[in-house]
Chain A
Amino acid sequence: MSAVEEVVTEAAAVEAVPKRAMTLGTGTSLLVLAALIIMPIFVKNFIIFQMTMLLIYGLAVLALNILTGGSGQFSLGQSAFYAVGAYTTAVLMEHFDVNYALTLPIAGVVCFGFGFLFGQPALRLSGVYLALATFALATAMPQLLKLNFLEHWTGGVQGLVVTKPDAPFGLKMSQDMWLYYFSLVVVIGIYILAVNLLRSRSGRAFMAIRDNEIAASAMGVDVALYKTLAFGVSAAITGIAGSLGAIAVQFVAPDSYTITLAVSLFLGMVVGGVGWLPGSIVGAAFIIFVPNIAEGISKGLSGAVFGVLLFLVIYLVPHGARQVAILGQQLAGKLRKN
C-alpha cells in the first residue's frame, strides 16, 4: 500500500465520537454560522473581502477533503480545477454577458467533466504517482492558459478583468457585502450537499475505497466509477470556488493559479484535519491569515516564520483542527459527568 493511502486510513481512527456529545458540535456550528452572518455589519469592506476569500478557500479545501479524506486519492492539481472554474466565469461574464450567478453552475458542470475525464488515466495511479500526475496538471495549467490560440478568449498573460456585481433588488449594501452573503449562501448550500454526499451510498463507497480498495471491489463497489466520480465532484466544487474567487478578486490571470495555490489548499486540508469537513474553514483561515501574520513578525524571514508556525501546529495537533474538536468534546463530556 502506498504512503498516501495509508495516511488517510489512519485518519479514520480518530473518528469515534460519542453520539450524545454531538450537541456541542451542533451548538458550535450554529455559533459559527451566526458569527458569519452578523460579522460583516460591523467591519470594514477590506475585512469583508478577506472573509469572502476565507469562504472561497474553505470551499476549495472542502473539495480536496472530499477527494483525499473521502476517497483516499491525493491531489496536487486542485489549482488547475480552480483555474478552469475561474476562467469559465470570467469568459462567460466578459464575452457573453452571462449573469454572474448563472456562471457558477456552468463552471461546476465544466469542471465536473474535466475532473471526471482527468480521473480516467489517474485510475491506474495511486499515492506518489497520483501526486506526480496531478502535479503535472497544476504546472501545465498556467502555461495552457497562456497559449496563443486561446488568447482571444483568455486574454493571454494579461488575463481578464471581471466586473463586480451590484446588490440586486435595490438593496442598500456595498458590493463587497453583497458578494459576501452571496458566497455564504453558496458555500453553506454546497457544504450541506457535501455532508449528505459523504453519508450517502456513494460516500460510503468512497470511504470503502479509501480504507481498502481490494476489499471494496470484492464487496461490489465499482472502484473505477467511484474514484473518477470523486475526482469529478471535487473538481466541480473547486471550480465553483474558482468562479466565486474570480468574481471576488475581479481579475483572472494564468499566474494566479500556480502550484503554490494547490500546495496552500493541501496545507489547509492538513491543518483543518483530513476527512473532517468542518475543519476546511479552519484550514482556509490558516492559509489566508498565517502568511500575513508571518510577514508582520519579520519581513525578511516571513517564509521561515510561516514554516515554524506550521511546524508548531503539526506538532501540537498532528490531526489538525479535528483533534482540537475531539478534545473539546471529551472535555465537555467529562465536565457534564462531574
Chain B
Amino acid sequence: MELFTNQVLAGIATGAIYACMALAVVMIYQAIDHLNFAQGEMAMFSTFISWQLMQWGIPYWGAFILTLALSFIAGIAIERILFKPLAKAPILTNVAGFIALFAIINSSAGLIWDFTIKQYPTPFGSAPFLGSQLISTHQAGMIGVTVLLLLGLYFFFQYTRVGLAMRAAASVPESARLVGINTSWMIALGWGMATAIGAIAGMLIAPVVFLEPNMMGGVLIYGFAAAVLGGLTSPFGAVVGGFLVGVFENLAGTYIPGVGNELKLPIALALIISVLVVKPAGLFGRQIVKRV
C-alpha cells in the first residue's frame, strides 16, 4: 500500500509538468481550433531566453516577467507574420506549417545555445516538501502555480469582456464578427497567451528535465495526451488530465510486469485511447453535436 501511495504521489509530481503543458495546449486549441505541434519548441525557446537573461545578471523574477512579456509579443508576431496568411489554407497545410515552425525553432535554438544540457534554477528550492521524499518544494510550487494559472484563466474567460470575446470568436466566428468582435485579433491574442503560458510551463519544467533544445519532445506528447484526455474544450479538464496521465504512467511502470521506461509512453497512450473510446470528447469536454 505504501508503494502505491508513493507511486501516486510521484505521479502527481510529474503530472504537474504535463498539466502545465496541457493548459497551454488547450489555450491555443480554444483560440485557433487545432493543436500546435510547435508549442513545446516555443516554450523551450522562451525558457532559453529567460536563461540568457539570467546569465546577463537579471534576477529570477525579473527574467520571469520579462520572458512572459517577450513570449506574449513573440506569439502574436508569429501568428501575424506566419499563420495569418495561411488562415484560408486547408487545415492540414496549417499542420505542416506547425511542423515547419518546429524544425525552425529547434534548429535555431541548437545553433544559438548548442545541445549541451544546462542547469536551470528554481525559485522554490529543492528540499523535500513537508518531509516527503517524493515531492520536492519545487514540484509543490509547480502544482501551486498550475492551480493559480488555472484559476486566473477561469476568471479571465468567465468574467472579462475580452475573455468572453475570445470564447465567442472561437466557437462561432461568423456571429462574433457580426456583433463587432475582431476575430482575427482574438486569434492573435490567443497565440500570445498560449505562448506566455507555454513559457511559464517551460520555466517550471526546466529545473526537472534540464534545459536543452530537445527538452520538450516528451513533455509535449504527454501534454497533448493530457489535454485530449481531459477534453480539449476544458482548461480544468486539461489540468486533471495532466495529473491523471502522470499517475497512469507511474502505476503502469510499477505494476505491469516487463514495462520498462520505454514502454511507459505507449501504455499510457493506450490507456488514454481506451478512455476516449468510451468518452470520445474527453473526460470533461463538451460533446459537439453534428448536423448534416
Contacts and interface: CB of A to CB of B under 8 A. Distances in A.
Interface of A: 1, 3-4, 6-8, 10-11, 68, 74, 121, 124-125, 128-129, 131-133, 135-136, 139-140, 143-144, 146, 148, 212-215, 218, 263, 266-267, 269-271, 274, 300-308, 310-311, 314-315, 318-320
A3 B34 contact: yes
B148 interface: no
22 contacts: A1-B288, A3-B33, A3-B91, A4-B92, A125-B276, A132-B269, A136-B269, A143-B266, A212-B292, A215-B292, A266-B99, A270-B92, A270-B93, A271-B96, A304-B111, A307-B101, A307-B103, A311-B97, A311-B100, A315-B86, A318-B93, A320-B93
A297 to B, nearest CB: 12
B90 A300 contact: no
B247 interface: no
A78 to B, nearest CB: 14
Nearest to A132: B228
Given A7-B91, A129-B228, A129-B280, A143 B263 contact: yes
B97 to A, nearest CB: 6
A306 B266 contact: no
B272 interface: yes
Interface string B248-268: 000000000010001101100
Contact of B90 (A11, A129, A136): A11
Which A-B residue pairs are the 10 nearest by beta carbons?
A: A303-B107, A140-B266, A136-B269, A318-B89, A307-B104, A307-B103, A310-B100, A7-B91, A307-B100, A304-B107
Interface residues of B, number: 47
Nearest to B263: A143
B150 interface: no
A223 to B, nearest CB: 13
Given A304-B104, A307-B100, 10 more contacts: A7-B92, A11-B90, A121-B277, A136-B272, A270-B95, A274-B90, A307-B99, A308-B100, A318-B90, A319-B89
A317 B31 CA distance: 25
A121 B92 contact: no
B292 to A, nearest CB: 5
B85 interface: yes
A294 to B, nearest CB: 9
A313 to B, nearest CB: 8
B92 A132 contact: no
Nearest to A74: B92
B35 interface: yes
Contacts of A121: 273, 277
Interface in B1-45: 33-35
Contact of A124 (B263, B272, B277): B277
Nearest to A302: B107
B82 interface: yes
A214 B288 CA distance: 14
A304 B273 contact: no
Nearest to A6: B91
B93 A128 contact: no
B151 interface: no
B36 to A, nearest CB: 11
B162 interface: no
Interface in B31-71: 33-35
B265 A139 contact: yes
Instruction: Output the residue of A7, A132, A148 with the most chain B CB within 10 A.
Output: A132
Given A136-B273, A214-B292, A311-B97, A304 B91 contact: no
A68 B90 CA distance: 13
B276 A310 contact: no
Main secondary structure on chain B at its contact with chain A?
Answer: helix
Contacts of A306: 100, 103, 107
A8 B92 contact: yes
A15 to B, nearest CB: 13
Instruction: Output the residue of B82, B95, B108, B265 with the most chain A CB within 10 A.
Output: B95
B73 interface: no
Contacts of B97: 310-311, 314
A143 B262 contact: yes
Contacts of A263: 99
B282 to A, nearest CB: 8
Contacts of A266: 92, 95-96, 99
A62 B45 CA distance: 36
B185 interface: no
Contacts of B92: 4, 7-8, 11, 68, 74, 266, 269-270, 274
Interface string B281-292: 000000010111
Interface in B85-125: 85-86, 88-93, 95-97, 99-104, 106-108, 110-111
B277 A7 contact: no
Contacts of A320: 93
Contact of A304 (B33, B34, B108, B228): B108
B276 A133 contact: yes
A255 to B, nearest CB: 12
A61 to B, nearest CB: 13
Contacts of B164: none
A274 B269 CA distance: 28
Nearest to B274: A121
Given A271-B96, A318-B90, A135 B111 contact: no
A263 to B, nearest CB: 6
Contacts of A140: 263, 265-266, 269-270
B200 interface: no
Nearest to A264: B99
A132 B85 contact: no
Interface string B199-235: 0000000000000000000000100110010001000
